Amino acid sequence: MKKFLLSLLVVIVLFGSFGCNKKEKEKEVQQDITDDVAVFDDQKVNEILFQDAVIVYEEGKSTLTMTIINEGEKTVYIDTVNIKLYNNDELVQEFNSGVGSNIEAKSTIPLVQEIMRDISKTNKIEYKINS
C-alpha cells in the first residue's frame, strides 16, 4: 500500500500544476522524476478499465501499480491479468499478475506487481483478462 501511495504521489507531481515563474527548475525536477518512471494511458478491456498504470524503478526493482475498475453492471471474476510491456514495439516483459477475486459492479481494486529489473523505459502496455 505504501508503494501504491508513493506511485500516486509521483503521478500527482508529474501532472500537478506548477508555478509559472519556476519553469526551468521544474523541468529539471520533472526530468529527474521521470528518469525511472513510466506512466501509461488508461485502457479498457470489455467492461474493465485499467487506470493510472505507473512503473517506478528504485532499489533494483520495478513496481507496476494501477487501479482496476469494473465499469459494468455485473460482478466480474478475474483470475489473472496477462500484462505485456513494450519499448518501441519490442516486447520487454510479459507476465501474469494474480487478482483471483470478484470485482463488484462499479467498484475498484488496486493491482501492484514487482519485477526484479528495470522496466521503467517501457512505453506501451497491453492487458488480457484471464477469468
- Each residue's pLDDT tens digit, 21-50: 444 433 333 333 456 899 999 999 999 999
Closest by Cα among 102, 125, 128, 114 to 53: 125
Does the pLDDT value for residue 123 go beyond 80?
A: yes
Fold of 2-130: Immunoglobulin-like (2.60.40)
In the chain, where the domains are located: 2-130
User: CB under 8 Å to 109, separation ≥6 — which residues?
Assistant: 67, 68, 99, 101, 103
How far apart are alpha carbons 66 and 81 in whole angstroms? 12
